[in-house]
Amino acid sequence: MTDTPLIEAKGLTRHYGSRIGCTDVSFDLFEGEVLAIVGESGSGKSTLLKLLANEIEPTRGTVLYRLRDGAVRDLARLSEPERRLLARTDWGFVRQDARDGLRMGVSAGANVGERLMALGGRHYGRIRGTAADWLGRVEIDGGRIDDTPKTFSGGMRQRLQIARNLVTHPRLVFMDEPTSGLDVSVQARLLDLIRGLVADLGLAVVIVTHDLAVARLLSHRIMVMKDGRVVEAGLTDQVLDDPADAYTQLLVSSVLAA
């Protein structure tokens, strides 16, 4: 592993007029690490995720990213074609609502295959074969390869979205509440799947969640946000087992009392 972080946030701040999205957030993330960003609704965690994924521009601060050739670039200085290529190949983004991360009108196989085509894949048979392999890896019956996501359950759509994002072997994956809205049993299977794939592929992951159990299961490190600021950060088990900040203590105690 290189000593240079894969992604480095420096003083990230985003204001919406007088409203604070997030303020002065800094951290490093290395390959193979999973960072959970937790907090209540309105804490700033989703704003931070969009800043990291280059979907919105910061009011101030920078996000540095180490490309495959080792060059470290300021995301704000990338050209639009460079940003699009990065988003289609080196990054993945698993959305809270799978309908936002899938093309609902095309087949499951085509949803996965599109990412391969962005890397220059043109051989239909190989693309279809790789798509079928990935459907199997996310526990979707290969016989559903020509079915559209409209016919899938919520859990199957989320697994398809994961396959679509991971088929290009990205180095960095953003996840926004990936198990939200799913039944408990479906959540458990999906979390096991995510944990296994992240470990197998050595991915760097930034996951936003309000569920501390999800953070504990998936992440190595955790950042707790409140009112747009990071109030506590550290190793996940250390922070959740012995929280120092009063707000983190409140979050942990509310889970224990539930």
- Helix axis angle for 124-137 and 108-118, nearest 10°, is 120
How many domains are there within the chain? 1
Contacts of 77 by beta carbon, 8 Å cutoff, 6+ apart: none
Q: Is residue 1 part of a domain?
A: no
Domain ranges, residue 168: 7-257
Q: Is residue 2 part of a domain?
A: no
Best CA proximity match to 156, nearest among 118, 205, 189: 189
Residue 249 has a CB neighbour count (10 Å cut-off) of 13
Tell me the per-residue pLDDT of 100-141, one tens digit each, with 9 for 90 and over. 999 999 999 999 998 888 777 677 789 999 999 999 999 999
CATH of residue 14's domain is 3.40.50.300
Tell me the per-residue pLDDT of 180-217, one tens digit each, with 9 for 90 and over. 888 888 999 999 999 999 999 999 999 999 999 999 99
Token duo for residue 134 = 């990935």
**Dist CA 48 CA 38 (whole Å):** 11
Q: Is residue 126 part of a domain?
A: yes
Q: Is residue 28 part of a domain?
A: yes
Q: Is residue 119 part of a domain?
A: yes
Q: Is residue 48 part of a domain?
A: yes
